[in-house]
Structure 1
Amino acid sequence: MTTPPFTVADVMTRKVVAVLPGAEFKEIVTAMERWKVTAVPVVEGEGRVVGVVSEADLLVKEEFHDHRLGLVEQMRHLDATAKAGSRRAEDLMTSPAVTVAPEASLPQAARLMAAHHVKRLPVVDTTGAIQGIVSRADLLKVFLRPDDDLAAEVRHDVIEQLFPLSHRKVGVRVDAGVVTLSGEVGDSALIPLAARLARAVEGVVDVRCDLSARGRTQPHPR
């Protein structure tokens, strides 16, 4: 049976530091400093996420603190100047918040972060209620999987499935996340596929493929 892929729910932080829409500026800064986070979700009602306040949102106030803008410049920086004059989370936050579902895959979460230039995402259920927070660091947790676990998954989900008759002749070694496949298999056409599938196992850093068939060695695909 193929191992199911890791989801956001597997790696997210479940203890969430959040603020209410009416939270004051200093309250938000204090929460960030106390819990060592760079952004906090803004929630209302039954924990429904309505926005996110980040350090960038708060720093706007400092940016314009000693700099009086003219009318034209104020119009050009309308959102920023509005935030500079605000002191409550509901006025400072970025809304709507970019969120992700618990069942989303890790690549999906990573693409969302990259597309929206954020470092973390609130994880919400179908009602929009917060379930956790997933950060860039959380997405890297899969690379902390033990080498033995990676080797077992590659052998079971890749080698035994692709080479049911010759899988016992294949060696699977993992060192610091790098998989080495060695030995002889019956079908040379499947060797590149084996390397690609092994590389797709979550937590694998790279794959060295030294498999051969009928006396021919298949070079490691790049």
Structure 2
Amino acid sequence: MHGKPHTVSDVMTHTVAAVGRDAPFKDVVTLMEEWKVSALPVLEGEGRVIGVVSEADLLPKEEFRDSDPDRFTQRQRLDDLAKAGAVTAKELMSTPAVTVHPNATLAQAARIMAQRKVKRLPVVNAEGMLEGVVSRSDLLKVFLRDDEELAEEVRHEVVDRLFPLSADHMQVEVAEGVVSLTGWVDDNGLARVAEQLARAVEGVVDVRCCLMPMSARNDPR
């Protein structure tokens, strides 16, 4: 739909691997390997997300398997040492889980991932029930939109709205996700706005704005 930002629900994976809070350590590792994922939501009850177990939560068991950490290491890495002795998902998981709602925009989800340094986010409803998972690769799916689709949206959402009387004097071309805006406009200030709006269209890689003011076209020099 024109002008409507893509949301997490548009790109998320609905079929999700997850574990219960009492899942044994080995079952967690096995499920990660089978599903080729780096983290699993931990559920309780009918599907409420209470935490996430990641590869980072599992590694301390191997790291400290045959070592006797000194007191300094013990003080600095209490959480990791506790996880080294963990045997269930409840003991391993990071909590509270970093999650996102299905109606969040892709930009919001990307910001959460960057700020919290995670690769995947459980998608939960208002009650905290698991609905899916969104990954970094899912957020990049908007860049798979074809050039003609992008061009159509830029024409409809940018050119037709900003320049309804002079749209015929403008051209929109897209190649490999890069938008080129060429033509003549009455207000040079709107040319900058057009570039910003075109750049905000999801899936656009870059914008080349060559919109010139009508005054320059009519200048005899």
TM-score range, shorter chain: over 0.9
Is 1:179 matched up with 2:160?
no
1:67-96 per-position Cα deviation (integer Å, ceiling 9, x unaligned)? 112344323211111100011000000010
Q: Which residue of 1 aligns with 2:214?
A: 214
Q: Which residue of 2 aligns with 1:188?
A: 188
Q: Which residue of 1 aligns with 2:203?
A: 203
Q: Which residue of 2 aligns with 1:120?
A: 120
TM-score by length of 2: 0.95
Question: How many residues end up aligned between the 2 structures?
Answer: 217
Q: CA RMSD in A?
A: 1.3
Using the alignment, how far apart are the partners of 2:71 and 2:165 within structure 1? 77
Using the alignment, how far apart are the partners of 2:206 and 2:216 within structure 1? 22
Using the alignment, how far apart are the partners of 1:188 and 1:94 within structure 2? 52
Q: Which amino acid aligns with 2:37?
A: V
Gaps of 5+ in 2: none
Gaps of 5+ in 1: 218-222
Q: Which amino acid aligns with 1:54?
A: S
Task: Give runs of aligned pairs for residues 1-222 of structure 1, distance below 5 A.
Answer: 2-216=2-216
Tell me the SS of whatever aligns to 1:216. helix
Using the alignment, how far apart are the partners of 2:15 and 2:73 within structure 1? 41
Using the alignment, how far apart are the partners of 2:92 and 2:171 within structure 1? 56
1:91-115 per-position Cα deviation (integer Å, ceiling 9, x unaligned)? 0000100000111111111111111
Using the alignment, how far apart are the partners of 2:183 and 2:71 within structure 1? 73
Tell me the SS of whatever aligns to 1:152. helix
Tell me the SS of whatever aligns to 2:87. coil
Q: CA deviation at 1:179?
A: 0.2
Using the alignment, how far apart are the partners of 2:83 and 2:18 within structure 1? 19
Higher mean C-alpha displacement, 172-181 vs 72-81: 72-81
TM-score by length of 1: 0.94
